[in-house]
Structure 1
Amino acid sequence: MNFKEKVIIFSAPSGAGKTTIVKHLLSVNTKLVFSISACSRAKRLTEVDGIDYHFFSIEDFKNKITSQAFIEWEEVYKDNFYGTLKSEVERLWKEDKVIVFDVDVIGGINLKKYFGTKALSIFVKAPSVEELERRLRNRKTETETTLHNRIKKATKEISYAKEFDRVLVNDISEISCKEAETIVNSFIEN
């Protein structure tokens, strides 16, 4: 199996730290390439279209669903769609690298089903729900309502951890990043 036939899927509840871990891995391992997900939510101030996500209007996203442009997609919150474009995966296969996904929990489960043994799925979780809430509050991007919704959703998502190949508890970021490096390198080399 060559590199381009393997994928690594990181999933977690919002605030668990998966994106920090993924960015670290991409910065230290040249065999990895990031799959940019598509979404219909509003862009955050620090995000760039085509770098962080492919941002689509709700109508455009629904049109892509109809035309079967996605490997997987989900309505994560009302009118907030997320998905993995087939064209993105095809583009990345040409680079002869291992594709890394940073997706929500249901998206991660769906990608694992799609890619099977070619995929390593890693569930990232905060050490506690209280710590998860603290991290989300520190982002300063949530209203009390959205914060409550994210915590409620996170509690449900944590119950899916057993469906992933590995669970990584992200307590201290530097340690979690090193542990992720070990897990990923072992998968790539086998």
Structure 2
Amino acid sequence: MSAERRGLLIILSSPSGAGKSTLAKRLMQWDETLSFSVSATTRAQRPGEQNGIDYHFTAEDDFKSMVSNGEMLEHALVFGNYYGSPARPVRKAIEAGEDVLFDVDWQGAQQIANSALRDHVLSVFILPPSITELRRRLETRGQDSAEVIEKRMRQSWDEISHWDGYDYVLVNDDLDTSFERLKTIVSAERLHRRQQPGLLDVVRGLQAEFEEIET
């Protein structure tokens, strides 16, 4: 039996500190059927990490073969290691009516939007209310050194400049409000015509019933 609806490939992007990770966590708490895409990487497995849960740890030759064979939705070389999103588990989830959440930058989002699964992509960009507030959030969360914060701030405009490549854009001036809007977006997109493969059968059934009544 086919799924009542197709799953969504939900992309969240933002400059660091705009609230993307917090919104992603809230979204997964709101709907526990959501799964987070597990990336493949060629970097070495670290102590405590589990293959298939934290990452799919992959040999470089195998990774490159997957890219050549179109088995990666997106990929990038970061500090000498490859990272990417395998297409097969995402396709399987979508066909089963399950949504998959992606936390990627604008380049990853662009690759996914141009992939074979583009019809099921929902992309959302999170903007900070101001650059001053973005810096304040980075400083108050206490995760990064001053040097790292400066690097993230320099990178922020490159991310922000690609805001118009997304389906939806949220200005995260209030986390609760932004989350409510994000839930509304996801709920509406789940009802989109292209996400409901059974609609054609419903319409055909109505047509047959109508013709029977008319005769």
Matched letter for residue 104 of structure 2: V
Q: CA deviation at 1:130?
A: 2.1
> If the length of structure 1 is used for normalisation, what is the TM-score?
0.79
Q: Deviations over 1:91-116 (max 9, x none)?
A: 53465312221212211121122132
Q: CA deviation at 1:2?
A: 4.8
Q: Deviations over 1:65-112 (max 9, x none)?
A: 31225221123x533643212344245346531222121221112112
Structure 1 residue 65 corresponds to structure 2 residue 67: no
Q: 1:64 to 1:21 in 2, by over 3 A?
A: farther
Instruction: Show structure 2 runs of 5+ residues with no match.
Output: 193-215
Report what 2:23 is aligned to. 21
Q: CA deviation at 1:177?
A: 0.6
Q: 1:38 to 1:98 in 2, by over 3 A?
A: same
For 1:13-162, list aligned pairs within 5 A. 13-38=15-40, 49=50, 51=53, 53-54=54-55, 56=57, 60=58, 62-68=60-66, 70-75=72-77, 77-79=78-80, 81-90=82-91, 92-93=93-94, 95-114=96-115, 115-162=117-164
Q: What is the root-mean-square deviation in Å for CA atoms of aligned residues?
A: 3.0
Matched letter for residue 12 of structure 2: F
Distance 2:149 2:191 in 1: 40
Distance 1:64 1:170 in 2: 40
Structure (1/2) with the larger strand percentage: 1
Report what 1:166 is aligned to. 168
Deviates more, 1:2-11 or 1:90-99: 90-99
Report what 1:180 is aligned to. 182
Distance 1:30 1:180 in 2: 16
Q: Deviations over 1:29-81 (max 9, x none)?
A: 255322223456899xxx96555x4175xxx5644431225221123x53364
Q: 1:90 to 1:116 in 2, by over 3 A?
A: closer
Q: CA deviation at 1:170?
A: 1.2
Matched letter for residue 128 of structure 1: S
| Partner SS state of residue 8, structure 1 | strand
Q: Which has the larger radius of gyration?
A: 2
Q: 1:137 to 1:81 in 2, by over 3 A?
A: farther
Deviates more, 1:2-11 or 1:20-29: 2-11
Instruction: Show structure 1 runs of 5+ residues with no match.
Output: none
Matched letter for residue 155 of structure 2: K
> If the length of structure 2 is used for normalisation, what is the TM-score?
0.71
Q: In structure 2, which of residues 8, 11, 14 is the aligned counterpart of residue 9 of structure 1?
A: 11
Q: 1:88 to 1:24 in 2, by over 3 A?
A: same
Q: CA deviation at 1:3?
A: 3.5
Distance 1:39 1:143 in 2: 26
